[in-house]
């Protein structure tokens, strides 16, 4: 059932906004932004959306606190970042501390005895470009050691391509854990490309190239590309263990940069973390869905103001990204990896 169809099931909204429904696009615009729509849609979703049955194990507050003990895997962990990511970014040279993609996560893993390899690939390059660089960095640092890869977002696609197609010399991957990776594409990527239109895409890509950035990633994140091209041509390696996690969050506040993407994904794919749906996150052994966790929470880029407000009203944080990745390492250790 479409979002607009759900709208018409709420008489209060239908009467309040009927005069604006001359254009489907305008209707969707008003629906996605009205407070009343959020209340009606949220209530309808939680009571009748059959897609909620596909969440697998729902992880509510299992990673709210850091435990006293986590086992250490025997192989190094490679951290592979997502779209527009980096390992470490210095925006003011030596005058300010570096910004880390994996905020506090790599340090916590290392403190627990894990050998950590953080990689940097072209931020918006194609999967092929990013995968090639990923393999080069692993080979350079791991020096022939077997590795576990833990990948966030698009990093999971890079790793899959590297494992199945490139098979770099001196790189032996024993497991791949993907965290909110769009294995089946993103309806929001399709939406953006459709909204921009084929006539304007070349000009936009030219502008992006002028900023010194690649553009290969954007068209490869669509559902069409992933289902018709990437997945059929990228089978799992039988010698590699594949694990995955997804995440979902409630509708973001009106000023959130993920407001529109969450709405589009929720209507077309179902529960999502603001950028990647639970449905698209599933690959291999699906370990579960992190509840009330955003795409940025997953790399410890948590909205601290949000958690401060929650504490003020007596609600403790329900997710700690460091506890989550320590538990992934613990899981790998228990799997003998």
The pLDDT of residue 126 is 93
Q: What pLDDT does 95 receive?
A: 53
Contact between 60 and 312 under an 8 Å Cβ cutoff? The reply is no
Give the list of residues 6+ apart from residue 220 with CB closer than 8 angstroms, or none.
126, 127, 157, 226, 230
- pLDDT of residue 96 exceeding 80, the answer is no
The CB-side HSE value for 275 (13 A sphere, CA atoms) comes to 18
CB 150 within 8 A of CB 325: yes
Q: Which of 29-38, 160-169, 181-190 has the lowest mean pLDDT?
A: 29-38
Tell me what percent of the residues of the chain surpass a pLDDT of 90. 57
If we measure between CA atoms, which residue out of 230, 214, 226, 269 comes closest to residue 246? 269
pLDDT at 213: 60
What confidence category does residue 257 fall into, taking pLDDT thresholds of 50, 70 and 90?
A: confident
pLDDT-based confidence at residue 219 (cuts at 50, 70, 90): confident
pTM recorded for the entire structure = 0.80
Q: Does residue 87 carry a pLDDT above 70?
A: no
* pLDDT computed for residue 123 by the predictor: 84
- The region that residue 322 occupies, defined by phi over 0 for left and psi between -120 and 50 for alpha, beta otherwise, is alpha
Residue 15 confidence class, pLDDT cut points 50, 70, 90? very low
Report the pLDDT averaged over residues 289-314: 80
Domains and CATH numbers, the chain: 1-48 (no CATH), 53-334 (3.40.50.1820)
Write down the pLDDT at residue 253: 86
Whether 25 has a pLDDT exceeding 80, the answer reads no
CB 61 within 8 A of CB 319: yes
pLDDT on residue 49: 62
Q: Which residue has the higher pLDDT, 67 or 36?
A: 67
Does position 310 have pLDDT exceeding 60, yes or no? Answer: yes
């Amino acid at each position: 059932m479409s979002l607009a169809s759900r709208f018409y099931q709420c008489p209060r909204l239908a009467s309040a906004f009927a005069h604006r429904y001359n254009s489907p696009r305008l209707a969707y615009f008003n629906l996605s932004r009205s407070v009343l729509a959020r209340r009606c849609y949220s209530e309808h979703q939680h009571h009748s959306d059959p897609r909620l049955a596909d969440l697998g194990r729902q992880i509510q507050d299992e990673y709210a606190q850091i435990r006293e003990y986590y086992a250490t895997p025997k192989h190094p962990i490679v951290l592979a970042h997502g779209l527009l990511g980096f390992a470490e970014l210095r925006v003011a040279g030596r005058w300010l501390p570096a910004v880390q993609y994996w905020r506090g996560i790599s340090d916590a893993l290392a403190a627990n005895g894990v050998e950590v390899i953080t990689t940097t690939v072209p931020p918006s390059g194609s999967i092929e470009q990013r995968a090639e660089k990923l393999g080069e960095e692993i080979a350079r640092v791991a020096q022939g050691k077997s590795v576990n890869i833990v990948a966030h977002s698009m990093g999971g696609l890079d790793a899959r391509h590297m494992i199945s197609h490139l098979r770099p010399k001196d790189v032996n991957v024993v497991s791949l854990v993907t965290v909110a990776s769009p294995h089946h594409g993103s309806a929001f990527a399709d939406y953006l490309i459709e909204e921009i239109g084929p006539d304007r895409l070349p000009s936009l890509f030219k502008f992006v190239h002028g900023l010194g950035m690649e553009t290969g990633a954007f068209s490869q994140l669509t559902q069409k590309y992933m289902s018709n091209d990437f997945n059929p041509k990228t089978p799992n390696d039988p010698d590699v263990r594949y694990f995955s996690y997804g995440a979902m969050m409630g509708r973001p506040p009106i000023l959130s940069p993920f407001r529109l993407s969450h709405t589009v994904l929720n209507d077309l794919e179902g529960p999502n973390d603001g950028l990647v749906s639970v449905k698209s996150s599933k690959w291999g052994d699906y370990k579960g869905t992190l509840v009330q966790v955003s795409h940025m929470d997953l790399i410890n880029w948590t909205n601290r103001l949000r958690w401060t407000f929650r504490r003020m009203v007596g609600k403790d944080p329900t997710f700690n990204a460091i506890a989550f990745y320590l538990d992934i390492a613990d899981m790998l250790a228990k799997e003998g990896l």
